[in-house]
Amino acid sequence: MDKQEKIVSMFDQIAGKYDIANRVLSMGIDKSWRNKACNLAYSFYDKKVIDKVIDVACGTGDMIDYWQKTAAQANVELNNIVGVDPSVGMMEVAKQKLPEVEFIESGAASMPFEDGMADIISISYGIRNVVERQKAFDEFARVLKKDGLLVILEFTKNPKETPLDYIKDFYMNKVLPTLGGIISKNKEAYTYLPNSIDEFLTTENLSKELQNAGLEPIFVKGFSMNISTLFIARKI
């Protein structure tokens, strides 16, 4: 089993407890991050009718729910939204929550979509789990319409410069694996999370990889002591 298959298998195993673990571990604050991401994307795209949104690494469907809610609030007509994920277990949970949504089993680096068909592609807390990341960015650029948007929410690697940075680091490396392990009964999965952040890119390097794929970052902002970073990039 290669690295990507191991990651997918891990998410299959924790799918049933994933939502409750996320809410507890983020203390619910991830909801505000998702809400801001969707609202800002609609504002930047500035169209009242959107043909297609693709949510990659959709997991249990949280981001899809926010795309739909915020579209209604912003008076945007969202014609179609599709969830894509290689984890069947995660999508089974998503289908129960969002039975009206189409879900497709697929990795991020090779998606079953035609060129230039999506207005917006999103990936929330999933890009660091994609082994072939640059290939995935190239794929997102292929599927997006010209001037379409890529929306990324992710935990990026940040330097430890202040006491708050060290407190955050203690939480992520000590508290989170223990608490996540208790809730999900899979400590290995929640040990992987902080390790995957430590091994991940800085904000600057991720922005460069986006540019290499023809995706120009137009908005980059850290939330909640830079725990989570939002990237919005436009296909040029």
Do you know the residue count of the chain? 236
What's the distance, CA 157 to chain centroid? 16
Q: What does the radius of gyration of the chain's CA atoms come to, in whole angstroms?
A: 17
User: How far apart, in whole angstroms, are the C-alpha atoms of residue 172 and residue 197?
Assistant: 9
- Annotation: binding site: 60, 85, 124
- Annotation: binding site for S-adenosyl-L-methionine: 60, 85, 124
Alpha helix stretches (DSSP H) within the chain: 3-26, 30-45, 62-73, 88-97, 133-143, 163-170, 176-184, 187-198, 203-212
Interacting residues of 41 by C-beta distance below 8 A, sequence separation 6+: 120, 122, 149, 151, 232
C-beta atoms surrounding 236 within 10 Å: 11
